[in-house]
Every structure is written in C-alpha cells, then in structure tokens.
Amino acid sequence: MAGELTRRQMIGASAGVLGAGSLAIGEESKGDTVTEPERQIPVNTDADVIVCGGGPAGVAAAIAAARTGAKVRLFELHGCLGGVWTSGALSFVIDADKPGFNKELVTRLDKYDARANRGVKNYMYDVEAMKIVLEDLCKQLGIKTQLHTRAVGVLKDDSKRMTTLLTESKAGRQAWQAPVFIDATGDGDVGALAGCRWEVGRDKDCPCQPMSLMGFITADPEVLADYTNLKGSGKNKDRFREEIEKAGMEPTYGKPTLWHMEGPIAAVMLNHEYGIKPFDAEAISDATINARRELFEVARALNKLGGKWDGTRLIATAEQIGIRDGRRIRGRYFVTVDDVIKGARHQDAICRSTFSVDVHATSMENNRKSAYSNHGIKAKAFDIPLRALIAADVDGLMLAGRCISGDFLSHASYRVTGNSVAMGEAAGVTSALAARSKRMPHEVAYSELETELQRVRNLG
C-alpha cells in the first residue's frame, strides 16, 4: 500500500536509527579513545525559538515566547514539565510575588485546589497538579514539547553565532536550528557546550552548595501538620530534627523540613549531599542513591520510634536530585554580591529579587554548626538586568534561571524559582522579538522588550 513501509523496510529503518549511536570498533579505536564515524543528521528548522530545559524558567520562557507570536520548541530531560517543581518534587515556590506567569500560576493551581496555603509569595503545591497545569498550557499555546531529550552538542558559524542544537533521545541524535536559543537547563549545559565561559561554586575548587533529594512520607495528618514549616521561623525544623535524633538518626541536613498539603502525605527535605559537582555524572548517581537510602532509613527509624510516628513510611522519592549550584554562564552583565548588598537598580531590569542570601552548608562539619547561612549579608531587594540573561561569548543564546551570569553569593539569592519564572518570561519575549526581526537578543532595545513584556505578563 502506498505510504506504508514493508516489514523489511521498517526493520532497516529501525536499524538505521538505533545504529546511529554506535561506534565502529577496531580501526576506529585508538588507545583509550574511539572515533565516532561521521554521519549526516536531518535538521529541523520549524521553530523561531528553541528552549532547552522545561523547568520553571524554561516553561515560562516557552510560554512567553509563544504569547509573543513565536513558534516554539521546548526540550526537557525528564518525563514531565516543571523541572525541580515536579520531577524534583520540590513542593514549594519561593519569592513568587511578581506579575505575569508567577501570578497566573497561582490562579491556575487554585482552580484545582492545589495549593496548601493561600499566600502568593511562598506556597506549597500539589506536584501532580503542577504537571497538568504546565503541560496543558504549553499544549494550548501550540508549543512543541519533547520530553526525555538531552542537549548533547552545539554548532556555531564563523561569527560565533549559535546555529544548531544537537539532542539525544529515543529518536537518536537530532539537529534543530532556530534564530534564537534559550539555555534554561539550570546547569548551563547549552552554554557550556557552546564554549561559553562559566563558573561553578565558590571558586575553581567548587565547593558547591549541597544537593538534596526530595521525598514523600505518609504519617498521621495531625502530626504532619504540627511539624510543617509554614512561617519560616525554623522552629518546626528544629523540632522535626529532634524527633529524627530520638529515632537514632542524624540527618545530613540540619534543618529537616516537612511540607504538608493535606491528608496523610507530606513532602520532606532532610538530605544534603556534599561536594558534588553538577557535571560529574558518577558522583551525582552515587549522591542520588545515598540520598534515597537516607530518606528510607529515616522514615523507618521514625516508624520504629512509634507513638505519633507509628505507620510512617517513605512512599516516593523525586525523579531527580535537587541541584542548588550549577554552572553560571558569563553574560553581558555579571551580577555580584555588591548588587545584593546595595540593592542595585538597573535601567534594563527584568526582575527584582527579594530573597535572602541562602547558602547551605558545604560539609557535614559545617552543617552541624549551621545548616545554612546568609554569610553575614543583609540582602536588599535588587534588580536582575536583561544583560545578565544574554550570553557574552556566543550570539543567539539567552540564559534563564539559575544559570544566568552572576557570582556565588548573588546566585544564592536569585536562584529561587519565583525569580526563575520572571527571568524565563524576559528571555522568552526577548528571543521572540529578536527572531521576528532577524536580530540578535542584544540588539533588541530594552524599551521594546519592556512594552511587550508588560503586555505578555498581563495576558494570564
């Protein structure tokens, strides 16, 4: 029948796709390395803006770009949109009292009765409802979303403009071209692949903020509500730690935290994995396994403690470990701790960060002294300028979320997800405007962005 492959053709086509990732061993092998044979990769060119990373920043960027009129492709590594909100099971939003999608998200979650407390700056939410809200909206806006897809390469032209993103997925290696790209991977994967300068941690030796794996436990609803951290005083965290210690365990995070939505289930954060670089796959794997074991053993210990904790179980862990400290790609402006201290204002401001400097202990020894610290810095509300979202070393590439351009201590303030959403919106609108007019992001006048960004933020 016309248009259908024969069985032999299907087998041959499948073999071609699956074999595309294999290497010719023998004459292609040279000592401790192998040479990958050259191959031709089909190129897709149907997008105006390509967003890599479907977390808070990436989803916001894709939505804003689509609402500005761009055709958008969105790639996400995990099996759902939302990033740390969903596959990371974070369960709470911080510093979200901002216009635009931050405000819209509250309204959309409330339609599902999916927030535990009704504040708009900091609130808990239902992880599964968050997935539905984000995925439904992207679908409604015509955003072409591809899950289970990782960025693995970047091609540039002679003028150092990014022209192509290479990805790997079940479909094999694919190539994607667009006028503008947005790195919203959290760890600056695209910027690093493109050869941009980047920093990580406090200095060249890292030490990075620790990673944490979120989990969900089931226990008596009244007990969970009693120990839930709502007002941020930390007293309930200390009380929860004392209960864990009574059970014979010392949590690696000295301020273990419960977030209780309703019923017998609560999200729990009680784990720190120290000294892990965000691009060390083996170390991240070990950290994830160790963290899951810790969550499991703490829940078991509480159950054995009995009394009000009788019946406590770990019922789920996040798909991905939470990474606080990834690559920070160098942009056309470098946000510093001086900006935080002085409350810097910028003419091209796209977001105002109001969160404190939040540095988690970088070792178990330091954790026993203080689980987190502001390093003596009294933060003032400060602007994040558009320039910090535009890559300095490669044209056609924007940044959104915690991988924007800044130092270790300023990053410890602006990294929270309410800010990431606002950054994503600005990157999405700027990219769409640039693509529409065949300009680079740095060529878009701030006055033009400001007008369109305000319009887009009022749409939700």
- 221 and 305 inside one domain: yes
- 447 and 397 inside one domain: yes
Which of 317, 347, 366 terminates a domain? The answer is 317
- 74 and 165 inside one domain: yes
d(CA 117, CA 262): 11
Q: Can you read off the two tokens belonging to residue 103? A: 């405000």
Return the minimum-mean-pLDDT range out of 9-13, 199-203, 272-276, 415-419: 9-13
Residue 385 falls inside a structural domain: yes
- The single-letter DSSP state of residue 374 is -
Which of 317, 338, 369 terminates a domain? The answer is 317
Q: Pairing between strand 150-156 and 144-146?
A: unpaired
0.85 exceeded by pTM: yes
Across 166-188, average pLDDT: 98
**Residue 15 confidence (pLDDT) above 60:** no
DSSP3 helix / strand / coil % (the chain, rounded to 5): 35, 20, 40
- 200 and 239 inside one domain: no
d(CA 427, CA 421): 10
Q: What is the mean pLDDT of the chain?
A: 92
- 65 and 172 inside one domain: yes
- 140 and 280 inside one domain: no
Across 136-155, average pLDDT: 99
- 237 and 195 inside one domain: no
CATH of the domain at 404: 3.50.50.60
d(CA 385, CA 287): 35
Q: Pairing between strand 33-34 and 43-44?
A: unpaired
At 29, is the pLDDT very low, low, confident or very high (cuts 50, 70, 90)?
low
* Structural domain count, the chain: 2
CB contact at 8 A, 413 and 356:
yes
- 113 and 245 inside one domain: no
Among residues 108, 138, 166, 365, the alpha carbon closest in space to that of 254 is found at: 365
- 89 and 190 inside one domain: yes
d(CA 458, CA 460): 6
Task: List Cβ neighbours of 116 (8 Å cut-off, separation of 6 or more).
Answer: 123, 124, 125, 259, 260, 261, 262
d(CA 59, CA 184): 9
pLDDT value of position 122 = 87
Residue 435 falls inside a structural domain: yes
Q: Can you read off the two tokens belonging to residue 228? A: 């839930």
d(CA 310, CA 299): 10
pLDDT value of position 401 = 98
Report CA dihedral (64, 70, 75, 76) to the nearest 10 degrees: 20
User: How far, CA to CA in Å, does 362 sit from each of 38, 276, 279, 359, 390?
Assistant: 43, 10, 17, 8, 30
Across 74-84, average pLDDT: 99
Return the minimum-mean-pLDDT range out of 68-77, 112-121, 130-139: 112-121
d(CA 399, CA 405): 8
Handedness of CA 347, 74, 84, 198 (dihedral sign): negative
**Residue 67 confidence (pLDDT) above 90:** yes
Residue 35 falls inside a structural domain: no
**Residue 125 confidence (pLDDT) above 90:** yes
Residue 210 falls inside a structural domain: no
**Residue 36 confidence (pLDDT) above 60:** yes
Please return the burial class of 232, using the count of CB atoms within 10 Å of its CB with bins 0-12, 13-18 and 19+: exposed
Across 429-433, average pLDDT: 99
pLDDT value of position 183 = 99
Q: Report percent pLDDT > 90 for the chain.
A: 86
Residue 30 falls inside a structural domain: no
Q: Given the structure tokens 């640039």, which residue do they identify?
A: 434
Across 178-197, average pLDDT: 99
Domain hosting residue 262, numbered range: 215-317
User: How far, CA to CA in Å, does 301 sit from each of 31, 229, 307?
Assistant: 50, 21, 12
pLDDT value of position 203 = 83
User: How far, CA to CA in Å, does 192 sit from each of 187, 197, 204, 393?
Assistant: 9, 7, 16, 11
Q: Report percent pLDDT > 70 for the chain.
A: 92
Across 321-332, average pLDDT: 98
Burial 332-352 (b: 16+ CB within 10 A, else e): bbbbbbebbbeebebebbbbb
pLDDT digits (tens, 9 = 90+) for 251-300: 999 999 999 988 999 999 999 999 999 999 999 999 999 999 999 999 99
Residue 453 falls inside a structural domain: yes
DSSP string for 103-120: HHHHHHHHHTT-BSS--S
- 147 and 248 inside one domain: no
pLDDT value of position 230 = 65
Residue 32 falls inside a structural domain: no
Task: List Cβ neighbours of 454 (8 Å cut-off, separation of 6 or more).
Answer: none
Across 50-58, average pLDDT: 99
- 435 and 333 inside one domain: yes
- 88 and 146 inside one domain: yes
Which of 254, 282, 317 terminates a domain? The answer is 317
Residue 252 falls inside a structural domain: yes
pLDDT digits (tens, 9 = 90+) for 332-382: 999 999 999 999 999 999 999 999 999 999 999 999 999 999 999 999 999
